[in-house]
Chain A
């Protein structure tokens, strides 16, 4: 039981390093499965808040629905690019990104009008 709970991490030399940089990402994602969702969440938050406050600073009024939708599109594009590398992102996380993007579009088209 303790062997299962305290399994040693695989180090980089245990991977086939001839495959290049993706191995580093795969190793990190395998060691900490929450890493990729956290990166995507951070990206989504940064894009959404930066576009919102930038728009508010430039025009005096921010459109939160538009910022949410744009951040959703950025999120889904990055998630799809990550899905091209095997074992980086799970299908569940990918579908969650698609759903967030669709919610952003819905927010923009149906509720974001002045």
Chain B
């Protein structure tokens, strides 16, 4: 499994974990169960940490994208042909894609009432995928 697949798997795993716990908690809270699953201190702590991790992963991915776009274009080596224009184009299209994605995701979230954590997890996956795709364009021209 490559890095991208592993990263996406980890983010989806944390999202699934939060969903399972939230499903149980909501079901129990709606039916007036005395002791809900989140009353267990260990599970409550795990739930909070997973939430926090997803939010910080999104912040880190956004930071990584900013750093990536601010980096200087690669310098040509001896006997190597580098087209700096494709690098700039890749970065610009990356920003454009993330901008469109944010607008669409906000609309979907507000229309369908999706919890913000779901959008943030998906957004993190897409940002990392875009960075790796741009890097692939710069490296191999694919």
Contact = CB atoms under 8 A, between A and B. Distances in A.
Nearest to B27: A80
Interface in A22-41: none
Contacts of A95: 37, 40, 42-43
Nearest to A112: B9
Contact of A84 (B5, B6, B10, B33): B33
Interface of A is mostly: helix
B27 A84 contact: yes
A76 B19 CA distance: 12
Size class of B's contact patch? 20 to 34
Nearest to B12: A109
A51 interface: no
Given A110-B1, A110-B6, A110-B9, A94 B37 contact: yes
B62 interface: no
Contacts of A98: 20-21, 24, 37, 43
Contacts of A94: 24, 37
Contact of A80 (B23, B34, B35): B23
Interface in B6-53: 6, 9-10, 12-13, 16-17, 20-21, 23-24, 27-28, 31, 33-35, 37, 39-40, 42-43
Contact of A101 (B20, B31, B42): B20
A9 B43 CA distance: 34
Interface footprint category on A: 10 to 19
A57 B79 CA distance: 57
Given A102-B13, A105-B16, A109-B12, 9 more contacts: A80-B28, A80-B37, A84-B33, A91-B37, A95-B40, A95-B42, A105-B12, A110-B1, A113-B1
16 contacts: A80-B23, A80-B37, A83-B24, A86-B33, A86-B34, A91-B40, A95-B42, A98-B20, A101-B20, A102-B16, A105-B13, A105-B16, A109-B9, A110-B1, A110-B6, A110-B10
Interface of A: 73, 76, 80-81, 83-84, 86, 91, 94-95, 98, 101-102, 105-106, 109-110, 113
